A and B are shown apart, each in its own frame.
Chain A
Amino acid sequence: MVGYIIRRLFSAFLVILLTSMFVFGLFFLGPSNIAATFCQQSANGRCTQERLAVITKQFGLDQSVFSQYEEWAKGIFVGRKIQMGATYDCPAPCLGISYRDQTNVFDTLKKYYPATLSIALVAGFGYLFLGVLLGSLAARWRGTAADKSLVTVSLLISSLPYYLVLLLAWIYLYAIKGWFPVPGYTSPFDNPWNWVKGMCLAWLILGVTNSTQYARFSRGYMVEALGEDYVRSATAKGVSRNMAVFKHALRVAIVPVVTIFGLDFATLLSGTVFTEKILGINGIGVLAINSITNFDFPIIAATVLIAAVLIVVGNLVVDILYSFLDPRVRLA
């Protein structure tokens, strides 16, 4: 088990390393001249050759991609000093400083991440729970009107683009009807009630929308499990129908659903980007979108890196969880 985790951690590290290199490469190989853009903006369109050269040097763009990457990657572990007009001290873990306002990227991420994690974790576990519950109930009463309408509604919601559902829900529930308070983030440690108030619309929309596909997955796996011999054996022992469904069948059906949940972690993160943007919650998604339009490379690189870390860790957790869920899987 320990050996397995060490091996997995090693490969997880490789994935993160490659992702960061890839992002670096893409950014520099892309048809964009960061220095020129910044130069135009800062000098009101009158960008001289001298000014461009200064900015290029300041951003370190005159060096090769490899040495820039080396400098950047080294900073994560040991910290570095950054010359950008003035000298900025960037202690480990240093993800650089913003091109735009020279703030420390790591501090910026620390500021924005709680909102994103609040949305993602609560909505994520919410839709997993809701989906499995609805799916199991539908499988339990398979063929009834309730089951059929659940499947229909679920298909309908899943086939609409998420941002459309989100936008309509926001317009109707918040803007027109005013049933929900203003979306926004307050730290739950400062004021838990305001935290719930600001987040509830995001949880509701992201949670309900994504729960529909989990309801269909769960229903499918439950229907399959309910047809298995061991459920019949349980019934033959005298176990009640509900026990057979929610203990014997669900115990098996939950495994693939949790696996999908782990692999689908990226969807959850991209879902939060839309959610933040449309509901106007200042989270990492909004930060990333803004930095892409601003060519603020250090922030883009950092958000992608952290997203990669989250996805890799999510998958790792699911794989380890798997051996606890399914006793036939023995990790060695």
Chain B
Amino acid sequence: MTEVLDVERSPARQPNSQKEPFLVVEHLSVQFPTYDGLVKAVTDLSYSVDMGETLGIVGESGSGKSVSSMAVLGLHDIKRSRLEGSIRVAGKEIVGASQSTMRKIRGNEVAMIFQDPLTALHPFFKIGDQIIEAYRFHHNVSKRVARRRAIEMLDLVGIPRPDQRVDEYVHQFSGGMRQRAMIAMALVNNPRLLIADEPTTALDVTVQAQILDLIQEMQKEFGSAVIMITHDLGVIAEVADEVLVMYAGRCVEKGTTKQILTHPEMPYTWGLLGSIADVVGDVDKPLVPIPGTPPSLLNPPSGCSFHPRCVHRDKVEGNRCVEELPELRAGGAPNHLLRCHLTDPDAVFESEVKEEIL
């Protein structure tokens, strides 16, 4: 098994061999013109991920998590979207790159695991053929070699009897198996960056744990960078080194996983943490949801986009939350960034919020 896998390893694949992180996203904005107006799906988003690291991106549905990651693969239709800012993969600029450049990056250097493998895998092609296609697109090998590689990959992700399963269709796989096959397809070219878009959302917890373990094992084996998109903070706690919290298309808080989970400083993150059910906690204790619904990206709220739902708004002097967009500023710990007008969010957290959510 390892012989074929090792063929593609080169010194350039080792972490820290480059100065710039493997993926750098700077001031990324993604907008979609529609009949109703301009949808500002992502606004001024910046982050970076280096080899061997895992970045978790969390946020509600429609907060721009998937849209920003799909931009990294150039999956947005140029005619139907507007991209601004800069995305660099291994130093190469992605925004505005030609389709032929993108094709060499897609599936090869950057691969994506999609949310729902039943719809994300082709219903009429055999699983093996889909993996073979992904492999042969970036490797000039015969069908036989590619097939052997596909069987290896299926074996690697823990699919039993891979030599038979390779000829089956997606509808013949169970949910967990489908996601494993999806992962096998994403990893077949040893990508240096793996974007997992809610890879465990449709799965039950035991399978979820297996899939997360699998992604982490693969990351160790290949030393790749991983972006884990999820709305499940439990997943983040398990796999991420760094966390980026998104709200209404913007980064609202960013920091190390430990910092974000233990000392969050942004009211939206408090809300997210507060709405998690505690399995061993008191069953009579009500869950605390975030009031209201996610904002429309057609007409985002003025000032801080979270202000209509924020319960700590009265702690800010004047009407700043409504009138002024808070800048990303340094938080209590190094590398901790947040977007909030509260002068001392840590104090508010310690006195009012901590008890509720931890």
Interfacial residues, chain A to chain B (CB-CB below 8 A): 143, 228-230, 232-241, 248, 251-252, 325-328
B107 and A237: CB pair below 8 A? yes
Contact partner, B114, options A233, A238, A240, A252, Cβ 8 Å:
A233
> Across the two chains, which residue of chain B brings its CB closest to A326?
B124
Task: Please determine whether B106 and A238 come into contact, CB atoms closer than 8 angstroms.
Answer: yes
Interface-facing stretch out of B57-65, B115-123, B261-269: B115-123
Residues of A within 8 Å of B123, CB to CB, are 230, 252, 326-328
Using known A-B contacts A228-B119, A236-B107, A236-B112, determine if residue A327 contacts B169 with beta carbons closer than 8 Å. yes
Does A241 lie within 8 Å of B134, measured CB to CB? no
In the complex the two chains form, what is the Cα distance from A327 to B138 in whole Å? 28
Q: Which residue of A lies closest to B195 (CB)?
A: A236
Query: B73 to chain A: which residues have CB within 8 Å?
Result: 236
Known: A237-B106, A237-B107, A328-B123. 6 other contacts (CB 8 A): A229-B114, A236-B114, A238-B137, A327-B123, A327-B171, A328-B171
Which residue of chain A lies nearest to B169 when distances are taken between CB atoms in the complex? A327
A-B contact pairs, 10 of them (CB 8 A): A143-B79, A230-B122, A232-B114, A233-B122, A236-B75, A237-B137, A238-B138, A239-B137, A241-B99, A252-B123
Which residues of B in the span 105-150 have a Cβ within 8 Å of any Cβ on A? 105-108, 111-112, 114, 116, 119-125, 133-134, 137-138
- Of all chain A residues, the one with the shortest Cβ separation from B102 is A238
| B104 and A238 contact, CB distance less than 8 A | yes
Which residues of B lie under 8 Å from residue A235 when comparing CB positions?
75, 106
Residues of B near A240 (CB, < 8 A) are 99, 103
Give the CA-CA distance A235 to B137 in the complex, in Å.
11
Chain B residues positioned under 8 Å from A230 (CB to CB): 119-123
**Which among B120, B124, B134, B138 is the interface contact of A229 at CB below 8 angstroms?**
B120
With A232-B114, A233-B114, A328-B169 in contact, is A238–B120 under 8 Å at CB?
no
Is A236's CB under 8 angstroms from B111's CB? yes
**Closest Cβ of chain A: how far from B143's Cβ, in Å?**
16
Contacts of B236 in A (CB 8 A): none
Residues of A within 8 A of B99 (CB): 240-241
**Partner pick for A237 among B116, B171, B185, CB 8 A cutoff:** B185
**Chain B hits for A328, CB < 8 A:** 123, 169, 171
> What's the interface size class on B, roughly?
20 to 34
Majority secondary structure of chain A interface residues (helix, strand, loop or mixed)? helix
Distance in Å from the Cβ of B146 to the closest Cβ of chain A? 13
User: Which residues of chain B are near A251, meaning CB under 8 Å?
Assistant: 122, 124-125
How far is A143 from B99 in the complex, measured between Cα atoms in Å? 20
Q: Which residues of A contact B125 (CB under 8 A)?
A: 248, 251
> Which 8 A-B residue pairs are closest in the complex by CB-CB distance?
A238-B107, A237-B107, A229-B119, A238-B106, A237-B134, A230-B122, A229-B120, A233-B120
Chain A residues whose CB sits within 8 angstroms of the CB of B169 once the complex forms: 327-328
Known: A248-B122, A328-B123. A238 touches B103 (CB 8 A): yes
Q: Which residues of A contact B122 (CB under 8 A)?
A: 230, 233-234, 248, 251-252
B133 touches A239 (CB 8 A): yes
* Contacting residues, chain A, for B103 (C-beta < 8 A): 238-240
> In the complex the two chains form, what is the Cα distance from A237 to B161 in whole Å?
25
- B134 contacts A238, C-beta separation under 8 Å: yes
B133 touches A237 (CB 8 A): yes
Nearest A residue to B124, CB-CB: A251
Q: Is the CB of A238 within 8 A of B108?
A: yes
| Closest partner residue, chain A, to B116 (CB atom) | A229
A159 to B13, CA, bound (A): 62
Q: Which A-chain residue is minimally distant from B108 (CB atoms)?
A: A238
Interface residues of B in 260-293 (CB under 8 A from A): none
With a cutoff of 8 Å between Cβ atoms, the chain A residues found around residue B134 in the complex are 237-238
In the bound complex, what is the Cα–Cα distance between A237 and B131 (angstroms)? Answer: 9
Distance in angstroms between the alpha carbons of A216 and B218 in the assembled complex:
46
Q: Give the most central of A233, A234, A327: most B CB within 10 Å.
A: A233
Across-interface contacts of B114 in A (CB, < 8 A):
229, 232-233, 236
Q: Which residue of B lies closest to A235 (CB)?
A: B75
Residues of A within 8 A of B124 (CB): 251-252, 325-327
- Alpha-carbon gap, A312 to B123, bound state (A): 29
For A231, give the chain B residue with the smallest CB separation: B122
| Closest-CB distance, B289 to chain A (whole angstroms) | 30
Closest chain A residue to B73 by CB distance?
Answer: A236
- CB neighbours (8 Å) of A229 from chain B are 114, 116, 119-120
Report the minimum CB–CB distance from B209 to chain A (whole Å).
Answer: 24
Q: Determine the distance from Cα of A88 to Cα of B225 in the docked complex, in whole angstroms.
A: 88
CA gap between A248 and B121 in the complex, in Å: 10
B44 to chain A, nearest CB (A): 25
User: Which residue of chain B has its CB nearest to the CB of A143?
Assistant: B79
Verify B137–A233 contact, CB threshold 8 A.
no
Task: Find chain B residues with CB under 8 A from A233 CB.
Answer: 112, 114, 120-122, 185
